[in-house]
Amino acid sequence: MPLIRPDWPPHTTLPPLARPASAGRQSLEVPKLGVAGDRNNHDPRAAPPVASAKPCSRLTFRTHSSDSKTDEITTLPNGIRVATESLPGHFSGIGVYIDAGSRYENEALRGVSHIIDRLAFKSTSKRTADQMLESIETLGGNIQCASSRESLMYQSATFNSAVPQTLALLAETIREPLVTDEEVARQLETADYEIGEIWGKPELILPELVHMAAYKDNTLGNPLLCPRERLESIDRRTIEAYRKAFFKPERTVVAFAGVPHAEAVRLTEQYFGDMKAIATSGPQPAVEAQDLSAQQQITPPYPTSQMASQKDSRLMSKIPFLKNLSTSAPRSATVSPLDPSQIIPHPLEQPIDYDIPSHYTGGFLTLPPLPIPPSPMIPRLSHIHLAFESLPISHPDIYAIATLQTLLGGGGSFSAGGPGKGMYSRLYTNVLNQHGWVENCVAFNHAYTDSGVFGISAACGTQFVPRMLDVMARELSLLSTETGLGRLSEIEVKRAKNQLRSSLLMNLESRMVELEDLGRQVQVYGRRIPVKEMVRNIEAVTMQDLRRVAKTVFGGEVRNVGQGSGAPTVVLQQGEEEGVTLKEIAWTDVQERIAKWGLGRR
């Protein structure tokens, strides 16, 4: 089924199924795709022709065709997977998807995913940054790079005739970037401004903080938005270490929408076929004495025992990367500077555990109060998110989760209305239409490869925050109730399933959504799930399934591989008001208020 990518940055596009509706917008609205756009202001005549790479010869491929007979997957000898979807039209979609993102970052690489997508389509070994932008403008269409928690995506929509040139540009920016100090410094400066802007907008920063609270200090809780204190630690060398860790053929999928499979395989072989996996960094074997002279001009990026022996032994304890601090050996003793027993790898060269499971912790985060708006016309609001651990994207019940999200729906206090826009969803009929003090209330679901987060976000007047939390908890508890007026009904379940199916099919009419869906599914499942199969799975969801899944998720009974705590996650930012003294809300009070509705574990 289509993957849900709710992550940063906010301009990226979400695939269709279970796409969370943004506050104040209708749930079926398709966000516009981001483009390289405003940078393409250069004369295209100055751009050099796109160079062609030499194709590999006599290679053996493994090809798989899905049941839909319209898409195929081929694995090249170096491990790159090529996926195609047969779609007629004048435009084609091309995407390169890399298994990278903030969940895989260690301490040394924290925040780099936020920076690296902004370094795309800059200078390469073949052209300057201006020439790259001119080449993009010449092609027409749009081109973009975006990072999420579990993927780094390079995507383009272009004319059918320009597919080879477009893939060549994607390959060039992925494989041959210069990554100059000037470019890195410029993007760090831009990121610093962006961080300040986003932290002032609760609707943007609170979803990020939900992840940080839900997965405290691990994997999915790693910040997708680079922490400001990390900006000074990121330089060209850090970027290269990130690329070395993740830009590997076995972690790469090249997807095509609207390109014949044989042509797609040929082009991928031409531009990516010679891409080799970069060996995992680690201690190198000792260098022979006769070879040391050739390395005298090379200064290791971290201390070695030979360097340390030239200093007073009292300084040994201050050298951070040495395991052996003993000075009992005679001064005449010599040790190879690359002796593995004497060196701990530099932090940037520490191996990364790609398979560490995400561990859901739950928790409570509060932000400093929002200042009073400068205009009295702007409402004074407090923002609150309530969430629980949900199911991973590959779980069979993910269709029930998507149906629950659609059934809850929600939106803003003002809506243009109209059929098919979710006006009969529960958060509209039970919350927005019943409580005039609620500004917006929306259900969200973030699904990942081994976990997920499901909850409700809301904004209301500051004095109503405790009541708002009760209202949100009540709506979640009613989903598993079998008796009473608030229990699920067959008509609303059918309505939610129809709306979900309609949303899925309409979103897949977008070439770029179809492309991303293809690439991410191959990344996660190793195959493309046909649309008919997804529709059948949606139709098969029953009211009993919804109650069972709701009880599992909101009761804190989810058993993912990371063995989560089952506790609720709450993120709160109150808004200041004239003459009102804000009261601090204790986590124990929040837990008791949620527990009385039978939600979560403590």
What is the per-residue pLDDT across 189-207, written as a single tens digit (0 to 9) for each? 999 999 999 999 999 999 9
pLDDT band, residue 65 (cuts 50/70/90) = low
The pLDDT of residue 20 is 34
Encode pLDDT of 423-445 as tens digits: 889 999 999 999 999 999 999 99
The pLDDT of residue 351 is 86
Closest alpha carbon to 593 in 602, 584, 580, 581? 602
**Encoding tokens for residue 105?**
């970052």
* C-alpha span between 217 and 233 (Å, rounded): 19
Is residue 377 packed enough to be buried (19+ CB in 10 Å), middle (13-18) or exposed (0-12)?
exposed
Closest alpha carbon to 353 in 201, 464, 454, 222? 222
Which of 37-41, 64-68, 182-186, 298-302 is predicted most confidently? 182-186
CB of 162 within 8 A of CB of 235?
no
Encode pLDDT of 552-561 as tens digits: 999 999 999 9
For the stretch 31-69, what's the b/e string if a residue is b when 16 or more beta carbons lie within 10 angstroms of its beta carbon? eebbbbeeebebeeeebeebeebeeeeeeeeeeeebeee
Residue 54 has pLDDT above 50, yes or no: no
* C-alpha span between 114 and 364 (Å, rounded): 25
Question: What is the pLDDT of the chain when averaged over all its residues?
Answer: 82
DSSP 187-252: HHHHHHHHHHHHHT-HHHHHHHHHHHHHTTTSGGGS-SSPPGGGGGG--HHHHHHHHHHH--GGGE
The pLDDT of residue 307 is 40
Encode pLDDT of 496-537 as tens digits: 999 999 999 999 999 999 999 999 999 999 999 999 999 999
**Encoding tokens for residue 200?**
């002032």
The pLDDT of residue 277 is 66
Encode pLDDT of 135-192 as tens digits: 999 988 899 999 999 999 999 999 999 999 999 999 999 999 999 999 999 999 999 9
Encode pLDDT of 341-371 as tens digits: 555 567 787 889 999 999 999 999 999 999 9
The pLDDT of residue 556 is 97
Overall size of the chain counted in residues: 602
Q: Which residues pair with 84 in a beta bridge?
A: 72, 256
Residue 2 has pLDDT above 70, yes or no: no
pLDDT band, residue 41 (cuts 50/70/90) = very low
Claim: this prediction has a pTM higher than 0.85 = no
Select the more confidently predicted residue: 70 or 351: 351
Encode pLDDT of 269-326 as tens digits: 999 999 986 544 333 333 333 333 333 333 333 333 344 334 333 333 333 333 333 3
The pLDDT of residue 113 is 97
CB of 457 within 8 A of CB of 381?
no
CB of 412 within 8 A of CB of 561?
no
Closest alpha carbon to 138 in 231, 40, 51? 40
Closest alpha carbon to 31 in 575, 507, 526? 507
Encode pLDDT of 223-249 as tens digits: 999 999 999 999 999 999 999 999 999
* C-alpha span between 480 and 546 (Å, rounded): 7
Q: In what order do the strands lie in the sheet with 382-390?
A: 363-366, 569-573, 382-390, 452-460, 438-447, 410-412
pLDDT band, residue 64 (cuts 50/70/90) = low
Encode pLDDT of 93-134 as tens digits: 999 999 999 999 999 999 999 999 999 999 999 999 999 999
Q: How far is CA 53 from the centre of its chain?
A: 31
pLDDT band, residue 451 (cuts 50/70/90) = very high
Residue 421 has pLDDT above 70, yes or no: no
Q: What is the mean pLDDT of residues 254-265?
A: 97
pLDDT band, residue 418 (cuts 50/70/90) = low
The pLDDT of residue 577 is 83
The pLDDT of residue 212 is 97
**Encoding tokens for residue 544?**
């009993």
Q: How far is CA 27 from the centre of its chain?
A: 21
Task: Show the domains of the chain with their CATH numbers.
Answer: 70-273 (3.30.830.10), 357-601 (3.30.830.10)
Select the more confidently predicted residue: 583 or 118: 118
